[in-house]
Amino acid sequence: MQINIKKPLLTDTVRRFLFWNAGVFLFILLSFNIFMIFITDYMLNRNLDNSIRHEMKNVLKTLEIRNDSLILLTTKELEEDDFREVKESSFFLQIVDSNGKYIIKSENFDGIRVIPFDHSTIQNNYTFYDLNNGKDELRTGYYRFVSANEKVIAHMQLSVYRTEASLTIRDIIIFNLLSLPVLFIIVIIASIFLVRKSMSPIKEIIHTAEKISAQNLNERINYKAESSDEIGRLRDTLNNLFERLELQVNQISQFTDHASHQLMNPLTIIKTELDYALRKDRSIDDYRNSLEQLKEQTEKMIKIISHLLIASKQQEEQKLTKSLFNLSKLITKEITETYKNNNISLDIEPEIYLRGNSETFSIVLDNLLDNAVKYSNSISQIKVTLKKFNGNIDLRVSDSGIGIPQGEKDKVFEKFFRTEKADELGIKGFGLGLSVAKSIITQMSGNIYVEDNYPRGSIFTIRLPEVRVE
């Protein structure tokens, strides 16, 4: 049953994107505006400073130092309107001696408030500061008059109105304060549009993925994007996941068919024997034969179920017993007792030991021998060899059966895999034996692989680290 979940207007992902996008934009905008205000203020002050410096040089041309005294040569410069009238472009001139006594003042000083003049703080010529006389904002420059004997005899202060510069800075700040909310709203709207546009491929992928179920696992996401792109990588990752799921589902489906068939055979025989025994009184021999049949079929079922249990834990780390056992004797015993009626030749080097669980290794050996018998005809010989080789133990099971196609050699160790030939020939099995064998051998720090046997058949080789027994 499909559950319809109400989709919010803004999901958590969209809200996070908006938060970060708006936050970063606001930070950048504020930083940029603060930077621009400082730069504008600096440029305006520099223009005022250049104007003050230029006028100071003109004033200096009208003055001369004689015998530690400052002499005014001409009043022509001071008679200009900028020194007489009070207007936006006016210059306000004050010159005081070393004792703080005023020597020269421009006429327009009478029209403004007193401009403070602390000449003791002046260290260098053409030094500039912002001043406020309680009413007006001013930009002020200073100059020291030094005699030939390095004596400071007077100080000059030249000020101009800073009103236009202050108004310009104020207008910039007001404009930013008024425009910031509008820009912020525009950014949020644009961010919503962009995030939805950016999320549309993901929504399309989600929509396609939601339609894929166990009944249509063959469907794939076909969104066009480069594989190096994030969306392309997401598409490829999900498609690879669907491929693995499809493979697993198909394998499980095949396994279910094979396993039910394998379990059905012994269960059918058990039911037949029970019906036979219960239909009427039987002789002791008949009951004994029925019980032997029941035991044999029960052992087959136990074997099948044990394989299933091992296969179900194949992805987990199994804690195998690390006891020492005689592999040479185990192989000889298994073949002579279980496969005594089959054409199997042995080439077993004696006294070869392994560290592990002998019962678990018997499952590996039984799987290899059972496959060799099933996939070979009754007259074909199966050869089992066990040798030490370069610090390793090599166990080889060779048969002259139907063989394994080259393209399926790597797949035979996958869970639930069965070759096409086996299915075509009706050979019973459910694709777990070799997968279980590989799992056990891997946990014993070994390897198992298959190669062709000439002129026909297969050779399965198990290579394990040699165990030296002192």
The mean per-residue pLDDT over the stretch 436-455 comes to: 88
- In order of 57, 157, 213, 399, the CA distances from 103 in angstroms are 18, 12, 99, 124
Where do the domains of the chain lie, and which CATH numbers do they carry? 15-169 (3.30.450), 230-312 (1.10.287), 323-465 (3.30.565.10)
- pLDDT value at residue 269: 80
Q: Looking at the predicted structure, is the pLDDT value of residue 125 above 60?
A: yes
- pLDDT value at residue 317: 45
3-class secondary-structure state, position 233: helix
3-class secondary-structure state, position 97: strand
Those residues whose C-beta lies under 8 Å from the C-beta of residue 268, and which sit 6 or more positions away, are: none
Q: Please, which pLDDT band fits residue 139 given cuts at 50, 70 and 90?
A: very high
3-class secondary-structure state, position 321: coil
Expressed in angstroms, the distance from the first to the final Cα of the chain is: 66
| Cα 115 to Cα 46: distance, rounded to the nearest angstrom | 21
* 152-161 β-sheet, strand order: 102-105, 91-97, 152-161, 137-146, 127-132
349, with CB counted inside 10 A (0-12, 13-18, 19+), is middle
Q: Which of 14-23, 395-404, 440-449 has the lowest mean pLDDT?
A: 14-23
**Are 217 and 239 contacting, i.e. CB atoms less than 8 angstroms apart?**
no
- In order of 96, 337, 430, the CA distances from 71 in angstroms are 13, 134, 119
The mean per-residue pLDDT over the stretch 336-350 comes to: 88
- pLDDT value at residue 218: 75
Q: Please, which pLDDT band fits residue 421 given cuts at 50, 70 and 90?
A: confident
Q: Please, which pLDDT band fits residue 316 given cuts at 50, 70 and 90?
A: very low
Residue whose token pair is 């002192």: 470
**Rg of the chain over all Cα atoms, to the nearest angstrom:** 50
The mean per-residue pLDDT over the stretch 311-326 comes to: 61
Q: Please, which pLDDT band fits residue 398 given cuts at 50, 70 and 90?
A: very high
Shortest CA distance to 235 belongs to which of 218, 223, 253, 251?
Answer: 223
Shortest CA distance to 289 belongs to which of 267, 273, 269?
Answer: 273
Backbone angles phi, psi at 213, to 5 degrees: -135, -175
Residue whose token pair is 């048969």: 399
Q: Please, which pLDDT band fits residue 2 given cuts at 50, 70 and 90?
A: very low
Q: In whole angstroms, what separates CA 385 from the centre of its chain?
A: 49
Residue whose token pair is 């900028």: 82
Q: What's the 3-state SS for 421-469?
A: HHHHHCCCCCCCHHHHHHHHHHHCCCEEEEEECCCCCEEEEEEEECECC
| Cα 65 to Cα 59: distance, rounded to the nearest angstrom | 13
Q: Looking at the predicted structure, is the pLDDT value of residue 259 above 70?
A: no
The mean per-residue pLDDT over the stretch 285-308 comes to: 79
Q: Please, which pLDDT band fits residue 469 given cuts at 50, 70 and 90?
A: confident
Q: Please, which pLDDT band fits residue 309 given cuts at 50, 70 and 90?
A: low
Q: Which of 25-29, 42-46, 82-86, 132-136 has the lowest mean pLDDT?
A: 132-136
Q: Please, which pLDDT band fits residue 141 given cuts at 50, 70 and 90?
A: very high
DSSP-derived secondary structure for 12-72: HHHHHHHHHHHHHHHHHHHHHHHHHHHHHHHHHHHHHHHHHHHHHHHHHTTEEEETTEEEE
- pLDDT value at residue 3: 46
What percentage of residues in the chain have a pLDDT greater than 90? 18
How does DSSP classify residue 223?
-
- pLDDT value at residue 35: 92
pLDDT (tens digit per residue) in 203-216: 777 777 777 776 67
| Cα 94 to Cα 70: distance, rounded to the nearest angstrom | 13
- pLDDT value at residue 39: 93
3-class secondary-structure state, position 136: coil
- pLDDT value at residue 1: 42
**Are 40 and 169 contacting, i.e. CB atoms less than 8 angstroms apart?**
yes
**Are 56 and 89 contacting, i.e. CB atoms less than 8 angstroms apart?**
no
The mean per-residue pLDDT over the stretch 412-422 comes to: 75
Residue whose token pair is 């994030």: 230
Stated as kind and residue range, the H or E segment containing 96 is: strand 91-97
The mean per-residue pLDDT over the stretch 19-34 comes to: 85
Shortest CA distance to 106 belongs to which of 137, 70, 72, 79?
Answer: 79
Sign of the CA dihedral 100, 101, 102, 103? negative
Q: Looking at the predicted structure, is the pLDDT value of residue 312 above 60?
A: no
Backbone angles phi, psi at 397, to 5 degrees: -120, 110
Q: Looking at the predicted structure, is the pLDDT value of residue 54 above 90?
A: yes
- pLDDT value at residue 232: 81
Angle, alpha carbons 287-291-295 (nearest 5°): 175
- pLDDT value at residue 91: 92
Residue-averaged pLDDT of the chain: 82
| Cα 91 to Cα 106: distance, rounded to the nearest angstrom | 8
